[in-house]
Amino acid sequence: MKKSIFIICVLFIFFSCQESSKENKSLENENVIEQTAFNSYGEKIDDKNVISENELAVRYAGLKLGDTIDVKFKSKVKEVCQNKGCWMKLGIGETETMVKFKDYGFFMPMDIAGEEVIVSGKAFVEEVSVEEQRHYAEDAGKTQAEIAKITDPKKTLSFLSNGVLIAKNK
């Protein structure tokens, strides 16, 4: 009888430890997936409290020249500087925003057009000079004829980013 009770206790302990081990491995795998889901550029940011590009479009609508708002949003990359990744354009509702990077402290990969990113920083409206517009057009690989058509300053939606997350390819 004592032998039977002892065997039952040993089996009970063995099976309970095995379940706990499975749960721990499952939790470890979840944490690894969360920690490696993004490539990070610039300051460390997370994917919490992110607004949509449409929400940002509404916030931009309320801005005047000189106003700024701190925000973190998600959008698709429309275009990236092909010289060294020093700016990118992101979709904002029916329009786009020009994103530059704080103190030119980091750059984007030049092959991320079409990918979704999370960007943190300051949104603002600015007037961009003809010279600056032409510089960006040149960086984007536009033709001389296209560049020559730029003749007036333009009010643009701008963004100064301190950090970017790009989902890792699966």
**CB neighbourhood size of 3 (10 A):** 7
pLDDT score, position 141: 86
Radius of gyration, alpha carbons of the chain: 25
DSSP 43: S
State what percent of residues in the chain have pLDDT above 90. 64
* pTM, 2 dp: 0.71
Contact criterion met (CB below 8 Å) for 158 and 124: yes
Q: CA torsion, points 34, 36, 41, 44, in degrees to nearest 10?
A: 40
pLDDT at 124 over 90: yes
pLDDT greater than 80 at residue 95:
yes
Superfamily of domain 38-167: Bacterial OB-fold (2.40.50.200)
* 131, 156 Cβ separation under 8 angstroms: no
The pLDDT value given to residue 8? 52
Question: For residue range 1-51, what is the model confidence (pLDDT) as tens digits?
Answer: 555 554 554 444 545 555 444 444 444 444 444 454 899 999 999 999 999
